[in-house]
Amino acid sequence: MLIKSLVIKKDYLTTVNEHATLEEALKILEDSGFRCVPILDDTGTIFRGNIYKMHIYRHKSQGKDMSLPVTYLLKNATKTIKVNSPFFKVFFTIKDLPYISVLDEDNKFYGILTHSRLLDMLSDAWNVKTGSYVLTVLTDNSRGNLAKMTKIISKFCAIAGVMSLDASTAGETNNAVRRILFTLPAGLTEDTLKEIVRRLERKSYVVAEIEDLQAGMTLMSDENPGVYINQENNN
C-alpha cells in the first residue's frame, strides 16, 4: 500500500463538477491557482478526467462558447492508477502529467498522486538529505555483482540507500550497463571514501561518479574525472 500512503485524498482537493461550464471551471482554476484539477460526477466518486487552465484559455481566446460543459475539454480520462497498483506502473502512467488520479478498489475516485510527492518519496528512500556521498558504480549484469559491491562497502560503513539504473545502446540489450547508485551515510570521512573507491576499482568495478550531497557538488564524473584526482593529489 505504498501508493496509498502518498496520495492526497479527494477531501483535500479542488475539483470541478462535470456539469460546470467552462466559465465556471476557469474561475475555480484561477481562484485556486492550479493549472488543472479533476472533474468528478455529481456524487464526487467517479473520475471523468482533468480540465486544464491552458485549454480553457485557448478556447476563450478563439472566441468560442464558454457556456459549454467542462467535459467538452476534458483530458486524461483513462490516465488513472489503483491504490494497490504496482509501484513501477506509476512511472509508466504519470509521465508528463502534473499528477495521476488514483481510484480505490471499487474504481471510485480516491485522490491524486503528484510528481512532487513521488519525488519526495524517492528522495527520502535515497537519503539525499542526510547522506554524505553518492557513488555511481558501473557494472555488467553478471550474477552476484550487487552482493559483491555491497560487501566491499559494508566493510567500511553502512549503506544508506541503493538505486539501480540500466542503460543500453539501442538494439544492444545484451550489452546493458548497470549503474548502481550507493548513498553512503553522513559523517563518512574522505579517507574512508577514497578507500571504498579504491577497493571497488581493485575488483574491476568502475566508479563513474562521486557526488557530495552536503556540498551539492560532483567530486568526480565521467565528464570531469580530474576533480577527485586533483583532490587526492593535494592530500
Domains of the chain (ranges plus CATH)? 2-117 (3.10.580.10), 127-234 (3.30.70.260)
Which tens digit of pLDDT belongs to each residue from 168-224? 544 444 556 889 999 999 999 999 999 999 999 999 999 999 999 877 777 766 655
Which tens digit of pLDDT belongs to each residue from 34-81? 999 999 999 999 999 999 999 999 999 999 999 999 999 999 999 999
E strands within the chain?
8-9, 16-17, 36-40, 47-52, 80-82, 99-103, 109-114, 133-139, 161-167, 177-184, 206-212, 217-220
pTM for this structure? 0.69
Q: Which residue has the higher pLDDT, 35 or 3?
A: 35
Neighbours of 133 (CB within 10 A): 24
Name residue 218's beta-bridge partners. Answer: 211
Residue carrying C-alpha cell 574512508: 192
